[in-house]
Amino acid sequence: MYKRNSEKLIIELLQDFRILYLTGPRQAGKTTLARKIAQDLGMQYISLDEQTAFASAQNDPQGFIDSLANQPVVLDEFQYAPELIRAIKLASDRLSPQERGRFFLTGSADIFSSAKTQEALPGHMARVELYPLSVTEKQASSFNLIDFLLAEKISLPDNLPLLSREQIAQALIDGGYPEIQDKGSRAKQIWYKSYLHGRLFKDFESIYSAKGDYHTKLESLIPYLAGLSGNLLKYASVANDLGQNDKVVKSYIEALEWMFIIKRIHPYVKNRAKRQTIGIAKMHTVDTGLACHLLGLKKKEQLLDSMYYGGMLENFVVMECFKHLAWSEETMNIYHFRDKRKNEVDIVLEQEDNRLIGIEVKASSTIRSSDFKGLQKFAELTGNQFKCGLVFYTGSRLLPFGDGNRPYFAVPLSILWV
């Protein structure tokens, strides 16, 4: 079993909040982690995927919560029973100010963003996202990319590994779902098909009131979106290419994001940058292994020779940022930047003090000063908020590219494997 670096944070939050909601993609490891924490902390564990518990929760939400006898409880697969929200709210309101960690909820859909959820839980709920394994967790390491970027001085550790393009491509194909890390290629393909056609459609039905033949629409939409990884998301173009209604396409994409299949990265549109920014989100797939499966890319050679490699590499770094945020010392907002002259920055990290770090991701092992063009334009627009600009590349050395006014560095992508 893989050690999840966010476990410590979850336990701390259970000591500070009455309710904790652990959400993220199905099969990312939420149940395994929740069971472990429940055992360590002496909490009850109830899965709403079990028919009897589900029927009770659905038919008599208040009675179901009352039956817990005021004991701390894990309610797994909570997205199946949003009817419990009101009962949990009432139970939480009755707790004394000192009581914490009463409800530990897990769910594979972000139901507190869903239109089906009419009432959110009160302010004493913490929310944590658990994604598939990061490279750090697969390596049993505690390295954190966000903390590395926030350090006063960027420096490489002595144990930086040397990685070939083939090794990086294989990491993208492997993805991060814990259950398939030791499976062969054929077994992985079977697992992904089961994941998509089994659980995905079940979850979609639970959060979206679809009409008509939505299975067929999803079967064409999801691979199309995987091919857009690292690119701007234009709903009208997607709908036109697939011959579907653009409003339906947008609503399906929102549902797929609630289910953690895809992730939209919104543009940075603040201050002076607002007037020149193209206000379109970027599309990313939550797991590159799933995206490669959807695109029929089973071998690293296929991925490297495909038109998707650059976008998939950017997708990979974006999702590593989100994964590392789950156990970093500080929180950040993640955006992208693109102006009307096509200057762009793949990742914009905004600190709590509004300072900004720009990151470009390049699939090349060599870097030129022109690779920093988008970062330099972004720095001009954001002024003193701009902290530094980085280009992640597949080379092996940390290289300065400062212009005399602001710090810029080329950073080896292999830093993630430390």
Determine if residue 127 is left, alpha or beta; phi over 0 gives left, psi from -120 to 50 gives alpha, anything else beta: beta
Q: How far apart are CA 294 and CA 297, in angstroms?
A: 8
Report pLDDT for 114: 52
Best mean pLDDT range from 151-160, 244-253, 355-364 = 355-364
Report pLDDT for 211: 61
Mean pLDDT of 187-205: 85
Nearest CA among 207, 179, 210 for reference residue 195: 179
Q: Which SS3 state, helix, strand or coil, does residue 107 take?
A: strand
- What is the CB neighbour count within 10 angstroms for residue 400? 9
For the chain, how many residues are written?
Answer: 418
Nearest CA among 229, 307, 222 for reference residue 264: 229
Q: How far apart are CA 253 and CA 235, in angstroms?
A: 9
- What is the CB neighbour count within 10 angstroms for residue 60? 14
List beta partners, residue 333. Answer: 350
Q: Which SS3 state, helix, strand or coil, does residue 339 take?
A: strand
412 pLDDT higher than 60: yes
Give residue for tokens 């909040």: 17
Report pLDDT for 119: 53
Categorize the per-residue pLDDT at 210 as very low, low, confident or very high, splitting at 50, 70 and 90: low
Q: Tell me: the pLDDT tens digits for 348-385?
A: 999 999 999 999 999 999 999 999 999 999 999 999 99
Report pLDDT for 268: 94
Q: Residue 283: what are its φ and ψ, rounded to 5°? A: -95, 135
Question: pLDDT over 70 for what percent of the chain?
Answer: 95
> By the 8 A CB rule, do 108 and 49 touch?
no
Report pLDDT for 198: 75
Nearest CA among 374, 369, 365 for reference residue 400: 369
38 pLDDT higher than 70: yes
Estimate the crossing angle of helix 309-325 against helix 165-174, to 10 degrees: 60
Categorize the per-residue pLDDT at 115 as very low, low, confident or very high, splitting at 50, 70 and 90: very low
The mean pLDDT of the chain is 92
Report pLDDT for 308: 98
- What is the CB neighbour count within 10 angstroms for residue 70? 12
142 CB contacts (<8 Å, ≥6 apart)? 5, 136
- Distance between first and last Cα of the chain: 20
Q: Tell me: the pLDDT tens digits for 277-308?
A: 888 999 999 999 999 999 999 999 999 999 99
Q: Tell me: the pLDDT tens digits for 50-63?
A: 999 999 999 999 99
Categorize the per-residue pLDDT at 121 as very low, low, confident or very high, splitting at 50, 70 and 90: low
Mean pLDDT of 148-153: 88
Nearest CA among 336, 340, 177, 325 for reference residue 264: 336
Q: Tell me: the pLDDT tens digits for 176-185?
A: 999 999 999 9
Mean pLDDT of 2-13: 96
Q: How far apart are CA 389 and CA 372, in angstroms?
A: 8
149 CB contacts (<8 Å, ≥6 apart)? 349, 357, 390
Residue type, 302: Q
Give residue for tokens 């209604």: 245
CA dihedral 299, 300, 305, 308 (to 10 degrees): 90
Q: Which residues of 75-88 are buried (b: 16+ CB within 10 A; e: fewer)?
A: bbbbbbbbebbebb
Burial category of 172 from C-beta neighbours within 10 Å (exposed 0-12, middle 13-18, buried 19 and up):
buried
Q: How far apart are CA 408 and CA 402, in angstroms?
A: 5
Q: Are strands 399-400 and 408-412 parallel, antiparallel or unpaired?
A: antiparallel
Question: pLDDT over 90 for what percent of the chain?
Answer: 77
The secondary structure of 247-292 as a DSSP string is HHHHHHHHHHHHTTSEEEE-B---TTHHHHB---PEEEES-HHHHH
Best mean pLDDT range from 149-158, 159-168, 209-218 = 159-168
Q: How far apart are CA 290 and CA 177, in angstroms?
A: 9
Q: Tell me: the pLDDT tens digits for 55-102?
A: 999 999 999 999 997 899 999 999 889 889 999 999 999 999 899 999
